[in-house]
Structure 1
Amino acid sequence: MNEPLLDIQNLRVDFHTDGGVVHAVRNVSITLAPGEIRGLVGESGSGKSVTSLSVLGLLGTPRARVEGGAIVFRGENLLDKTEKEMRGIRGSHIGLVSQNALSALDPSFTIGAQLIEVIRLHQKVGKETARKKALESLELVALPDPARRMKAYPHELSGGQRQRVVIAIALACRPELLLADEPTTALDATVQKQILDLLLEINRELGTAILIVTHDFGVVSHVCSQVTVMRHGEVMEAGTTAAVLEEPKHPYTQGLMSAVPKLHLDDATRAVPRSNRRLYEFKQLVSAQGETR
């Protein structure tokens, strides 16, 4: 059996605040095989983004500390790496797609300049070679008229186009793993589907493994073969997407699934206000959680 590309083992992350210690991630274990797409699902505050950003060592504040566990990537524990060594891994071997493309891009530089900078930072190539690679990356993400977009600034592009650029930057050095943190949240439904289809195409063409952080089961069902459900920093359930979505075992997952809009309801169910119905079902399911844990 092949080794997993990414193996997060009993990860623990605490935030040391003025009000005390917050246990953001509690003994979380997740594996990702080469070429696999896994969804990491949970409500806000579940610890899913903290888990994914821990892989890159980008928790963003000295108050956040990894207190235990291991993050094994290609057989090496990233928690043992120095900051200099991690800079060589970020971008080159693990790419990051953030949810807010406008804040991820520098408004002062053109799209081409930002792509070229990333490529030259991680690869020993000249400016002209980097320019060609940058153009190839924009072509890979199917950005319209990529040569012209190289000269554009972020504000000149639409939301969907900016997200394609962020993905192009993340893929510029052809990393083996892509971390996508809510990559479609700020986009309308049509553009969301285009971005998800793009991620699927990248996975098929390049064999890039993808960990998608999301709160949306629609995203999971569309692109993920495996899914992990988190709540309050812990893993509630994990398995194949089909198994978890069709027959969720944990009451919390069942509660999340009950909140997914249903297109076909009988007249009696439709008569109950949707917010009241979901709240009642959710409380009933989650109240059983103490009996099953």
Structure 2
Amino acid sequence: MLEISNLSVDFHTDGGVVHAVKDVSITVGEGEIRGLVGESGSGKSVTSMTILGLLGTRRARVSSGEILLNGTNLLEMSQKELGRIRGRQIGLVSQNALSALDPSFTIGSQMIEVIRLHQKLSRAAAYEEAVRSLERVGMPDPPQKLRAYQHQLSGGQRQRVVIAMALVARPALLLADEPTTALDATVQKQILDLLLEINRDLGTAILMVTHDFGVVSHMCDSVTVMRKGSVVEQGSADQVLTAPEHPYTRSLISSVPKLRLDDTARAVPRAERRLHVFQEA
């Protein structure tokens, strides 16, 4: 479905050229969930935003490569042509729902606008579709949520709204850029489980941008690891998790914390117990 080949992206700054992405090649098959993993500054978000032409600055330049969506090179499209791809064929779930949603408008007005942009529906029909979209992502009391503003929703509810909006046109591919970073652990799992349900029930392929190998182990079929703008390792999730070849990959996996209450801690009163974090290679 998606094939990124030898992609390089440069940023032309006052201090010189920054090579943000260097000769990156990634594929995402139909119905596949691929993790794109790396620390901050590794180039993973730049890679994902380049797919839709959303780098957001004129100083960014694609110096080489191609991005094929079902055989069509997205890098050769105009912004108007890309506008027809965004939402309809590729949906985007951003990292911060607070920045993705407009605080001046209700959730309903924003969802109805997106639905009518992609579908020729009356406002009343678009409202009913918005209700169904929120029901699809497990939102309680959708009509009430459509009347609300973003500040009246919890973090998890806002993220469900963003996911619902990304799915209104039933895109075949979803770009999820760190969709759980701003959420607490319990809500993170709920959102990840929701994305898994969407993948299973709708067949939506997902490119999951994350720094967390815990997310990869929970939901990904395959994984690409980036460091300093380059791909250092990729393969099936099982292969990379159980037998990582690159030292950087091993360090990322070993940095996933595990909580264990040791025997010494158990011997002291509960109020004075301490959780010790240990790392497993």
> Normalised by the size of structure 1, how large is the TM-score?
0.88
Aligned-CA RMSD value: 1.9
- 2:148 matches 1:152: yes
Partner letter of residue 146 of structure 2? M
- Which runs of 5 or more structure 2 residues have no equivalent in the other structure? 264-275
Aligned equivalent of 2:167: 171
CA-to-aligned-CA distance 1:45-82 (integer Å, 9 cap, x gap):
00000000000000000011111100000110000111
Question: In structure 1, which of residues 106, 111, 114 is the aligned counterpart of residue 110 of structure 2?
Answer: 114
CA-to-aligned-CA distance 1:178-198 (integer Å, 9 cap, x gap):
000000000000000000000
Aligned equivalent of 1:11: 7
- 2:182 matches 1:186: yes
Aligned equivalent of 1:72: 68
- 2:229 matches 1:233: yes
- 2:108 matches 1:87: no
CA distance in 2, matches of 1:67, 1:140: 40
The alignment covers a number of residue pairs equal to 269
Partner letter of residue 26 of structure 2? I
Question: For the structure 1 residues 242 and 63, does the alpha-carbon distance in structure 2 shift closer, same or farther, using more than 3 Å as the test?
Answer: same
Partner letter of residue 238 of structure 2? A
Percent identical pairs in the alignment equals 70
Aligned equivalent of 1:132: 128
Question: Per-residue deviation at 1:263?
Answer: 4.1
Aligned equivalent of 1:286: none
SS across alignment from 2:209: strand
Question: Per-residue deviation at 1:122?
Answer: 1.8
Partner letter of residue 91 of structure 2? G
Aligned equivalent of 1:21: 17
Question: Per-residue deviation at 1:119?
Answer: 1.1
CA distance in 1, matches of 2:226, 2:83: 28
Partner letter of residue 124 of structure 2? E
Aligned equivalent of 1:250: 246
Partner letter of residue 227 of structure 2? R
- Structure 1 window deviating more from structure 2 (253-262 vs 174-183): it is 253-262
CA-to-aligned-CA distance 1:128-150 (integer Å, 9 cap, x gap):
22111111110110111011111
CA distance in 2, matches of 1:176, 1:129: 23
CA distance in 2, matches of 1:201, 1:163: 15
CA distance in 2, matches of 1:102, 1:263: 31
CA distance in 1, matches of 2:144, 2:231: 45
> Normalised by the size of structure 2, how large is the TM-score?
0.92
CA distance in 1, matches of 2:160, 2:49: 21
Question: For the structure 1 residues 241 and 265, does the alpha-carbon distance in structure 2 shift closer, same or farther, using more than 3 Å as the test?
Answer: farther
